Structure 1
Amino acid sequence: MFKLAHNGNILLDVHEHSPPSAAFVIEALEKSTFCECKINHDSINDYFKNSPNERTIVVASQHDATLEVVVSDDKMLATGELMLAQGGKALSLDDAKKQLIKAGVARGYKQVFLEQLLQQQFELPAGTKTKAILAKGRLPIDGQPAKLIPQVETLKSRLKTPKLREDGTVDMRDFGKLASIEPGAVLIKQQPATPGKEGFTVTGDILPAKAGESHALVAGEGTEISKHNPLELIATIAGVPVDIPYGMRVDDIFTTADVNVKSGHIDFEGSVIVTHNVDPGMRINAKGDITVMGTVESGHLTAQGDITIKQGVIGHQLDDKNLSCNIFSNGNIHLSHAQYSRLEAQNIFIERQASHCFMKANKLLQVGQQDNPKGKLFGGEIIDAQIVVAGEIGNESGAKMAINLAASGADVTADTDQCLKELAQTDSQLDTLQTAIEKADQVKDAEKKKLLLAKIGATQNHYCQQAEQLEKKLSTLEFHLHELLNNAQLQVNKTLHSGVEIHIFDKVLRTNRNYPPCSVKLEESKIEIEFKTS
């Protein structure tokens, strides 16, 4: 009934058997071997409408599968539009690749994309049009800029992390210890900039990438670029690291305007300068010196070096023994005035006056100007000092105050007693060893006797050296106590008021009246007051 022409048309011979209707032809065609061919509805309808005299009519046509590759305007995408075969041949992989080449696709193609599209020929109805992406371009990836990776905590980063208390709350005054570092510490490691990754279009055009911005490490004061690694910045001095553009510097002196809730407590390996004030409840701990240009109010300062406070220190009484302001120095303390504060140092220098303070100076406590100290000292207690110099001690009301000179002599005496005790024990050991030597002399076996005497001799030598060291220590302690007591004195350049209790070592003197300029010393185991002659 139907036959295939050489040009791919499907023909129906209607000369001998004229079909009754177009629907009959289409139904017969769909049941034939040419059912997947494209039906020519126009030709069939024209035959029945015009009743032509043709012997044959074209009822369908055979079509091979076709692939059209479309490249987007920006050339970043290639899309394949596949028209499935209608009674014709399926499209082969090789022929499909030729279409890609013809469209100019050169990069970004993946064969799996094409295979998945061609697979649709065996899954979808004949003549179906389907579409899929066959190639993708790639946008360029710009390089990453050079990155600085800090190896230490700087002041700036420290202030972002207040300290966590054990109960889980945050202490907004305490940010932990300042980030102090030692010479040779690595401050920054630089991660070099990357060149980026070039892109491309599906037609093979290169899309250049922008290289990451690069910049050199900046070695601020107190730092240098490592001689072994140009990407490392190292410290050349001890101090606190501070951020600068593209680098760091190291300050061996930490400077801040105020020590308050905003700054947090200061805990620093070097020296600290406060250009204004230290607020109540704040703390400074420094391995070097501390200098405060303003006032310390109810603060706590501790320094291995000197502490200088240009204005005053002001505290208040917490209980019978504790004050709210505490200044401790392993060096010297210099300040203008002090009130209700605890001060401890080698030497304490107060320019004007000290009232109701607890003070301890290993050597000198001076109240007043350097050349002629006439400052006021009243209330509170001097826990220990070797020499105290002031203009006026006590006050007119006769309020009690205590001054302890050479109080550390009690520690020297305790050390002396311990030294004597150890020396007595050593002497006892030596006596026991002498007895052992006498017994060893009676041993008849010569070899055994030799070994025994050698062992006893070594032990005896050890205790002899120990006794010698103890005797030297005892001599040093006795000399120190003598010097301490001989130099201990209280110098008053204006008035020594009544109600002052003066202790020199284990002796006590209580003043019951006012005294003119005088000095108080220990003479022949008795405290004596000597008046100054003009």
Structure 2
Amino acid sequence: MFKLAHNGNILLEVAKLNPPNAAFIVEALEQSPYADCEVDNDSINAFFKSDHPEKNLVVARKVDAQLSVEISEDKMAATAHLVTAKGGAKISIEQAKKVIIKAGVSRGYKQSFLEQVLQKQFELPSGTNANGVIARGRPPKDGKTAKLIPHVTTLRERLKQPKLREDGSVDMRDFGKLASVAPGTLLMSKQPATEGAQGFTVTGDAIEAKDGDSFELNAGDGTEISASNPLELVATIAGCPSDIQNGMRVDDVFTIGDVDVRSGHVDFNGSVIVTHNVSPGMKIKAQGDITVMGSVESGELISGGHIDIKQAAIGHLDHQNNDEGLTCRLVAQGDIHLAHGQYSYIEGNNIFIARQSNHCHIKAKSLFQVGADDAPKGKLIGGEILDAQMVIAGEIGSDSGAKMTIRLAHRGVEITAETDECLKALTQTSEQLNTLQQAIEKADNVKDAQKKQQLMTKIGATQMHYCEEAEALENKLSALELNLNGLLENTKLVANQALHQGVEIHIFDRKYKTTRSYPPCSASLVDNKIEIAFKTN
């Protein structure tokens, strides 16, 4: 009934069969060996409409499988699009590989992916569309940043772990045995940064990766880099380990119950732990950390590290000095933590008061925070913020509207003054260079060649000195401007519950005074003005 022509067409000898209609032909074709071929409905329908029908009617044709490859826009994947054969030839792996190469795929190809796509030729009906990823690029993998691995417990970590009593309560004054190390103890090791792994696209383009950031292991006092391993830090003395930037130090630790008239003032090269209180008029000076388990009343603590007061720091106006200044004074190179502050001068890098600050004078290099957790709700009442980059509290000021002054980014005034001095010096240097240029022009008219050469050499040396000075001043001006911009961009006052009236806010050289109470808000410098922004839920 049907026969295959050399061009792949399926022919029907209509004279022998004399089909009654198109449906008859299609049904007969479906029962034949050519059932998978593509039916030529146009040819069949034309046959029944023609006055002079053909003797051999084209009823179908064989169509080979088709494969195309599409590369994603980011070139990180190549997808094969397959149309299964309609009675025609299937695509072989070799043919498919040629299509893949022609599409521009050169990396990330896996034959197993391709085989999964081509296998669908045996599983899906003829003429079915099927897709599958046959190549994947590899994203770059950045290297890991160098990491510090501590091998001992530092004093600061130990003080976060108070001892549990038998009745389940916590003894906030007992932190167990003091952590100490012996000479040669491994304190900390450095896990080196790793190199980044280069990536690639399916078209073969390389994608560069970033190596991990590294740093130098810092050997503080009482420590050294191990002679056998430059990635290890070991103790050289017996004492208590403390964290420093990218390393540790080991301090001799002085522990005392109370600092009072019986003990005298404490002046120590290492760290100091006071297990009870600091009495009025007493002083502690330490190159390391100072930790007070109890409270400090009208005392003075000066630390080269951190200060941690588990209870309150309480002072009053200095009556012996006509109420000028405060009788409680805390100054640290590092951070200061205390539960409550009242009439105290507090100066440090970051200052944290857990509950409330009453009439304190605060000077923080970076952050001053009143309250705990991520959204502090402590109260900041009265006193004066002498300098800070950021202040965060729950309530700032008081309902009574008592005057309070907050100075943020006050260091910017010092930077501006230093900038003015640099500009003045640069002007003077420029004037010197102009004078030297005039001297060169005069020396050029000297007829004595030897004398002329001596003058030129002397003037040239002086000119080089002032050129180097001018370049140094310009670099310093650029650095000062960068520091000032960075300071102002990150300066902010945040009140998580209320900002009351009577609060005078200074940011750099701008001033704003609240005349009413505000709901949760923040204050920052915007377009050289102090703007109040209210929080939204």
Q: TM-score range by the shorter chain?
A: 0.5 to 0.7
Q: Deviations over 1:161-180 (max 9, x none)?
A: xxxxxxxxxxxxxxxxxxxx
Deviation digits for residues 188-228 of structure 1, max 9, x if unmatched? xxxxxxxxxxxxxxxxxxxxxxxxxxxxxxxxxx9xxxxxx
Query: Is 1:293 the counterpart of 2:293 in the alignment?
Result: yes
Secondary structure of 1:350's match? strand
Task: Read off the aligned partner of 2:312 and give its amino acid letter.
Answer: G
Tell me the equivalent position of 2:266.
266
Q: What is the aligned-residue identity percentage?
A: 63
**Other-structure match for 1:237:** 237
CA–CA distance in 2 between the matches of 1:322 and 1:237? 41
Alignment of structure 1 residues 297-312 onto 2, 5 Å: 297-312=297-312
Structure 2 counterpart of 1:284, one-letter code: I
**Which residue in 1 is equivalent to 2:342?**
339
Gaps of at least 5 residues in structure 1 are 1-182, 184-221, 223-234, 241-249
Once the two structures are superposed, the pairs formed by residues 371-410 of structure 1 within 5 Å of their partners are 371-410=374-413
Structure 1 distance, partners of 2:266, 2:440, is: 64
Shift of 1:264: 0.7
Confirm or deny that 1:328 pairs with 2:346. no
Aligned-residue CA RMSD in angstroms? 1.9
Instruction: Determine the C-alpha separation between the residues in 1 that align with 2:491 and 2:323.
Output: 28
CA distance in 2, matches of 1:461, 1:309: 56
Query: What is the CA deviation profile of residues 496-525 of structure 1, one whole-angstrom value per residue up to 9, with x for unaligned ones?
Result: 111111111121111111111111011112
Q: Does 1:531 align with 2:534?
A: yes
Confirm or deny that 1:454 pairs with 2:457.
yes
Q: Which structure 2 residue ranges, 5 or more long, are not aligned?
A: 1-182, 184-221, 223-234, 241-249
Which residue of structure 2 aligns with residue 256 of structure 1? 256
C-alpha separation in 1, matches of 2:331 and 2:534? 34
Q: Is the 8 A contact 1:317 1:324 kept in 2?
A: yes
Q: Counterpart amino acid of 1:255?
A: T
Per-residue CA distance 1:296-317 (angstroms, 9 max, x = gap) = 0000000111111111100011
Deviation at 1:397, TM superposition (A): 1.4
Which amino acid is 1:317 matched to?
L
Match of 2:485 in 1: 482
Q: Spell out, residue by residue over 1:248-275, the C-alpha distance to the aligned partner (whole angstroms, 9 max, x if none).
A: xx97111111111111100111111111
Structure 1 stretches of at least 4 aligned residues deviating more than 6 Å after TM superposition: none
Instruction: Output the CA distance in 2 between the equivalents of 1:525 and 1:436.
Output: 45
- TM-score w.r.t. the length of structure 2 is 0.53
The answer (yes or no) to whether the contact 2:316–2:344 under 8 Å persists in 1 is: yes
Match of 2:435 in 1: 432
SS at the partner of 1:370?
coil
Contact 1:239 1:270 in 2 (8 A): no
Question: Is 1:238–1:270's contact at 8 Å kept on the other side of the alignment?
Answer: no
Give me the TM-score of the superposition, normalised by structure 1. Answer: 0.53
CA distance in 2, matches of 1:321, 1:377: 21
Aligned residues of 1:488 and 1:522 also touching (Cα < 8 A)? yes
Give the deviation of 1:237 after TM superposition. Answer: 3.2
Q: Cα offset for 1:451?
A: 1.6
Q: In 2 relative to 1, CA 236–485 (structure 1 residues): closer, same or farther, beyond 3 Å? A: closer
Structure 1 residue 440, shift from structure 2 partner: 1.2
Offset, 1:460: 0.6
Q: Which aligned pairs between 1:77-476 and structure 2 lie closer than 5 A? A: 237=237, 252-318=252-318, 319-476=322-479
Counterparts of 2:453 and 2:291, CA distance in 1: 68
In 2, distance between residues paired with 1:438 and 1:270? 63
Compute the displacement of 1:339 (Å).
Answer: 0.3
Report the residue type matching 1:306 in the other structure.
H
Please state whether the residue corresponding to 2:383 is helix, strand or coil.
strand
- CA shift, 1:238, in A, is 8.4
Query: Structure 2: how far apart are the matches of 1:262 and 1:483?
Result: 49
* Structure 1 residue 399 displacement after superposition: 1.3
- Deviation at 1:468? 0.5
Q: Tell me: CA distance 1:412–1:265, structure 2 relative to 1, closer, same or farther (3 Å).
A: same
Q: Secondary structure at the match of 2:494?
A: strand
Q: Distance in 1 between the 2:239 and 2:472 partners?
A: 41
- Residue 251 of structure 2 contacts residue 288 of structure 2 at CA under 8 Å; is this kept in 1? no
Pick aligned residue for 1:522 from 522, 525, 536: 525
Q: Does the residue aligned with 1:260 lie in a helix, a strand or coil? A: coil
Aligned residues: 293
SS in 2 for 1:444: coil
Taking the TM superposition and a 5 Å limit, the aligned residue runs for 1:10-21 are none
Deviation of 1:370 after TM superposition, in Å, equals 3.3
Deviation at 1:321, TM superposition (A): 3.3
Conservation of the 8 A alpha-carbon contact between 1:289 and 1:305: yes
Instruction: Look up the SS of the partner of 1:285 in the other structure.
Output: strand
Q: How far off its partner does 1:455 sit?
A: 1.0
* Equivalent-residue separation in structure 1 for 2:251 and 2:409 (angstroms): 40
1-structure distance, mates of 2:267, 2:292 = 15
Q: CA-to-partner distance for each residue in 1:40-75, whole Å, 9 max, x for gaps?
A: xxxxxxxxxxxxxxxxxxxxxxxxxxxxxxxxxxxx
**In structure 1, distance between residues paired with 2:461 and 2:420:** 28
**Whose radius of gyration is greater, 1 or 2?**
1
Amino acid at match of 1:307: I
How many Å separate the matches in 2 of 1:320 and 1:504? 28
- 1:325–1:342 contact (8 Å) kept in structure 2: yes
* Cα-to-partner distance string for 1:357-405 (whole Å, 9 max, x where unaligned): 0101111101110322110001110011110000110111111111111
What letter is aligned with 1:388? Answer: V
Structure-1 separation of matches of 2:525 and 2:267: 43
2:311 and 2:339 in contact (8 A); partners too: yes
Q: CA deviation at 1:477?
A: 0.9
Deviation per CA, 1:90-136, whole angstroms, max 9, x where unpaired?
A: xxxxxxxxxxxxxxxxxxxxxxxxxxxxxxxxxxxxxxxxxxxxxxx
In 2, distance between residues paired with 1:338 and 1:425? 49
